[in-house]
Amino acid sequence: MSRPPIVSVVVTFLNAASFLHQAIQSVVSQSYDRWELLLVDDGSTDDSGRIAKSWVRDHPARMQYLQHADHSNRGVSAARNLGIRHASGDLVAFLDADDVWLQEKLERQVSLLTAHPDAGMIYGRTEYWHSWTGNREDQGRDSIPSHGIFADTLVAPPSLLTAFLRGTTCVPCPCSVLVRRSLLERLGGFEESFRGFYDDQVFYAKVCLNAPVFVSDECLERYRQHAGSHSQRALAEHTDAHTMWRRRYLHWLSRYVSEAAIVDGDLARALRTQRWIWGEDSRSLVPPRVQRLLRKAKQVAAHFADRLPPSERHH
């Protein structure tokens, strides 16, 4: 590599031998060539490490293999932070080992961040990719969700986080994000106490509270849908995990906003509403089906309450 990289690509993996080669190939095939690739092994016990090291041997000038001490498994947040610490580019992109980029991904996003120097991060729309299986039943299932209220827009803090909380726009996939390394270092990267659930949303909250974000309407990534993905395995193993981690995330966010002395009426209302919706005692004897119905009723009520003038809201 004759010129120093502008983009540091962090690919984290854990037992992803089935997909890792394709993910790496989608980076190598980029039309933009000012990148380095940091392959972070989060304690794999399958053939993933061998695959990653083989790529590094073939491309030693622009690829590195990284792992934690004792080849330990510390979770995706810690793995991404390890990659960030070794990054030398001004921009950092993340790619999970089972996802892929389209060829123009980096070229388009670097151009957009250059055109919007105030933006700390950019992300776009992402294809939810079912048809990769080749199975007839998966053909036609691919989808690209709309951003909803934002498209090709630079969004100032904290409006984007408020929209995430209210569900009026989609939370981005990690494979869609390109962020300035200076911002990552200032914010302390990912919160390593969040393992498996809400690690991405905690990170997005920190970014959206501290920097403008450019929301692109382009789709430049494919987010592979499969039962063996980390999120699907975690949900299968821990049926109550989503509720528990949602509450933990909201508690963390409330503390973060308070400690940072962030004052915004819309954000405060959205956060208060979410804490109300998800605030049931986990030890409640109310059956789970009834809890879900009650939560849905609260969400409907909150949807209409947020649209009332302040004078007509009941707190």
| H or E element in which residue 186 lies | helix 181-187
Check whether 43 has a pLDDT greater than 80.
Answer: yes
- Give 208-266 pLDDT, tens digit per residue: 999 999 999 999 999 999 776 555 455 454 557 788 999 999 999 999 999 999 999 99
- Identify each DSSP E strand in 130-247 by its residue range: 153-155, 178-180, 213-224
CA angle 119-125-126, nearest 5°?
Answer: 125
- Give 22-34 pLDDT, tens digit per residue: 999 999 999 999 9
Please tell me the CATH code under which domain 7-234 is placed. Answer: 3.90.550.10
Rounded mean pLDDT, 171-186: 97
Question: Per-domain residue ranges for the chain?
Answer: 7-234, 238-312
Rounded mean pLDDT, 257-277: 96
* 3-class DSSP state of 36: strand
Please name the residues in contact with 103: beta carbons below 8 A apart, sequence gap of 6 or more: 26, 29, 30, 31
pTM of the model: 0.86
Out of 71-75, 145-149, 156-160, least confident range: 145-149
* 3-class DSSP state of 63: strand
Check whether 176 has a pLDDT greater than 70.
Answer: yes
Structure tokens at 238: 């821990």
Structure tokens at 59: 């491309």
Q: How many CA atoms lie within 13 A of 22 on its CB side?
A: 15
Q: Between 310 and 135, where is the model more confident?
A: 135
What whole-number percentage of the chain has pLDDT above 90?
76
